Amino acid sequence: PDVGVAVLSSRRLIEVSGPDAAKYLQGVITGNISSLLPAASTALDPSSSAPTTTTAPQPSSELLYAAFLSAKGRILYDVFIYHLPTTPDSNTFLIDVAASEAAALAAHIKRYKLRAKFSVRVLPPAEQPAKLGGRGEILLAAPDPRAPGLGVRVLLAPSPSSDGQQIPEHESERLYTLRRYTFGVPEGPQELLRDVALPLESNMDVMGGVDFHKGCYVGQELTIRTKHRGVVRKRVLPCVVYRDGQGALEGGGQEGQEVVPARLEYRSGEELAEAARPGSDIARAGGAGGKERSPPGKWLAGVGNLGLALCKLEVMTDVRVAGAEAAGPGGYSAGWEFTVVVAVEGEKSDGGVLKVKAFVPEWLRERLTG
């Protein structure tokens, strides 16, 4: 559906609160925490003697998308950060992270806080606004900054009278995942592989997740060097998974004829993407992949007939990489098809192949080529 509410039970919140919270976060995330703070705030400089204002100016944004990186510039955790403006100089933040990573991220923050003055805790389920427990008032609401039109993220305060069952009418989280896939937006450790994925290849730069003008932060060196070099050959892209002949109707061919899908769209009842082996290489169909120095792509995750893959832009799409040498004879051809292996449950062997077609959403194409 075009309109609906999805309860994100796969997410958890971490509360970071204290005088040094903003200053600490500024030094460990790719985004700029000051965008969440009022202009009059002294949160990034607790030693400042500037007077506290009673009516603070509004911050430039209400939601920050960012990542914690390793020292080598690889993504450890992708997060959203909310600022709770309980006072003009409030230093309480909520970090929205994959539930499977919440405990590890909290431990990561504690490990490097040293003498900084702030507390860290994973909020228990009863305090999880992101679960929409009860009919509490809206704490915060802001457009998802990763792609235009993706949706609005909302935090509701838990209702004291809620028994956990009074949840507003909502859609399955699966539909939220499918919507992300149609926009080409990766999220969580299955799609942004921990200590493997790079911010720019994961589209964090074009999704507003990296501030290239802020001061130093952990993992900055490789990220900035890649940006200044100006060549990012691989990007996470949405893909349609299909079998031979399935794309015929969309492509204008005859029933049963092998035609590449022409549109990025979800087709109900086609549960193909879950069968593709996560992390497996994508190859050129017809045995041509052996001539290439490295695979054209790597499959990440999927639902229904849609999924995400890390793709070489100039091999799997018609997008030309700015600053890169011409792809030459190995470059993209509209007639090429690509395959990914099927995982067989309980076995290490492969169970055949499926075909995948990568697409570049219009919003992403504009930001890559603009």
- Coil, strand or helix at 315: helix
Residue 246 confidence (pLDDT): 55
Listed residue (248, 237, 238) closest to 306, CA to CA: 238
Q: Is the pLDDT of residue 350 over 80?
A: no
How far apart are the C-alpha atoms of 209 and 78, rounded to whole Å? Answer: 9
Average confidence (pLDDT) over 155-168: 58
Q: How confident is the model at residue 249 (pLDDT cuts 50, 70, 90)?
A: very low
How far apart are the C-alpha atoms of 263 and 185, rounded to whole Å? Answer: 17
Match 């194409």 to its residue by tokens. 365
- Share of residues in the chain with pLDDT > 70 (%): 76
Return the domain boundaries, the chain.
11-225, 230-369
Helix, strand, coil percentages (3-state) for the chain, rounded to 5, are: 20, 25, 55
Comparison of pLDDT for 204 and 253, the residue scoring more: 204
The count of residues in the chain is 370
249 burial (CB, 10 Å; 0-12 / 13-18 / 19+) is middle
Distances 103 to 24, 187, 243 between C-alpha atoms, Å: 18, 17, 40
- Share of residues in the chain with pLDDT > 90 (%): 58
Average confidence (pLDDT) over 243-272: 67
**Tens-place pLDDT, residues 295-326:** 999 999 999 999 999 999 999 999 988 766 65
Q: Is the pLDDT of residue 64 over 50?
A: yes
Q: How confident is the model at residue 223 (pLDDT cuts 50, 70, 90)?
A: very high
Q: How confident is the model at residue 294 (pLDDT cuts 50, 70, 90)?
A: confident
Residue 344 confidence (pLDDT): 66
DSSP 287: G
Residue 1 confidence (pLDDT): 60
Residue 135 confidence (pLDDT): 44
CATH class for the domain made up of 11-225: alpha beta
**Phi, psi dihedral angles at 239 (to 5 degrees):** -135, 150
Residue 87 confidence (pLDDT): 61
Residue 207 confidence (pLDDT): 97
